[in-house]
Structure 1
Amino acid sequence: MSLSHAQHLELLNHSVSELKDDIQVSFEFFPPGTEKAEASLWEALDRLVPLAPRFVSVTYGHSEEGRERTHKVIKQIGERTGLTAAPHLTCIDTPEAELRQIARDYWQNGIRHIVALRGDKQPGRQYTNYYASDLVRILREEGDFDISVAAYPEVHPEAKSAQADLLALRKKVEAGANRAITQFFFDVESYLRFRDRCVSAGIDVEIVPGILPVSNFETLKRFADLTNVAVPSWLAQRFAGLENDPTTRSLVGASIAIDQVRVLRKEGVKEFHFYTLNRAEQSYAICHTLGVRPQLAKAC
């Protein structure tokens, strides 16, 4: 027997009401390099601030200029929005003394949350022997920071094996990390299997899924190639024929992310980290659909 429109609506509302309870969200941005990009960043932030995210993070550039932009934006976010702003900090090409100075500067400026990463190797640069676990240790010695680290459900591109990658995550947690945020993924089962393996390995922090709402499939493929993320064939099919249709691409990308989050929530996940690429439309729509709205932000 087919359901009436009213019955469909009741089921949808019930589903959404189940999902909104206790959900927490956070958003990632990158530091702008131009005045136009800076305007886009603040426009996105202004749109997402009313959702009361747990924190917003800002990525870390490889150049000294890029790093300074991160420092500047982080301080501005705190001053202009009152949100908890979490800078990314890498250690692969930064001496320990400089890392400690950066940590002290953040602490003195009231910044308590840091996303601690090893960082990617760049051609022609000198590198330290530090790993993210070393950076977590340094941060713990400098202050009582709230520390997030990275996790890779589909294995870090440089890891010798999935088990070695898991042990690296455990070292970061043992050094004092408070949570792990995953690389983006599209196979929900890969996240769920990874979460189970973390539990088996004694990793007892929250494994927050990183969600990338796709708006440009070609850009996604470049990201995926760099990060060892599998792009399933069904995803390519969803975006086929939309090369010159950005509006529909955005709608399709938001729909895919909504499906991901709904499944994950039913599997007990209560916290989600959105890679915004400095755009608010998709992330805001996903949060709205799941019940994370301005008037409900305190309850979420």
Structure 2
Amino acid sequence: MPSESDFAKRRYENTPFILSNSKITRVVEVARERLERFSGDMPISEEFVVSFKKNNKMLKVDSLQKVLQLDNSVNNPIQEIAINLLCFPELPDKGGVIRLIFSGASRTISLVVGSPDVVWMQETMGSLEEQVERTIPIGLIYPIKLLPGIFYLALFFLLSTVFLSIYNANDRFHKIGFNVIPEQRAREIAALQALAKSDQEKADFVFQYLSATVPIANDSQPPKKYSLKEPRTYFVAVPMIVAVISSLWAIAFCYPLNVSAWGDWAEALDRKIEQRKWIWGEVVFATVIGVAGNLFAFGVTT
């Protein structure tokens, strides 16, 4: 048995993992192969401790095959699995210990390798780290989901953005002048104003000003105020709200953080993957394109 100083340890904190049938099988195979390299004819002891989410149920079995045959239901899934492989040959300097714990409760992965053979220990640790990291899903959604209170913050931010965009569009519409005199003509009228001394000159200035502004006023219509009571508001706001809610729903329910993906949970995970593909592709993307089209049609982007 290795002494306390002959252990290498690695702990992945606040980490999601998808532990599928093939991935856990590969992890155990690599651990077993590493121990077999120096075990000779000595047997390797294997122990698997499985904990379930409900009722604190815990089982100990002696083979991975038995673990994969357990009822891993969606309502009461496997929440933690500890893998222990030990080899104790007659020569004390050739012993080896490998322990891995995938814990959904604490969102951690723990890896411990022990042996007086430091070279073997380092090589084994590197091989197992590679396999463990393959169980960690890649993507921006998972780190975001792990942040505390992210859903409430995202909902507030996105909904605020929608309504602020509507308000700014309204304000921009309302402030755009629609009796705009061309710059050159405005300079000519300003010059007349500066030179207007007599009553006739002042009357001429008024006439020139009216002749410049009345045609523009006749040809222009003031833009309607972009009110929340108008239908076009909802053509923009409602689709955006749908996109926001759909996105948050996908993040909350279609990206499980820590899963032992075999048994019933393998099928459940496949369904969640299909659901999130549909939400991002058919709902969110199509909605954003539709909103952009509505903004263009209503002139909000001008």
TM-score, structure 1 normalization: 0.19
The structure having more radius of gyration, on CA atoms, is 2
TM-score by length of structure 2 reads 0.19
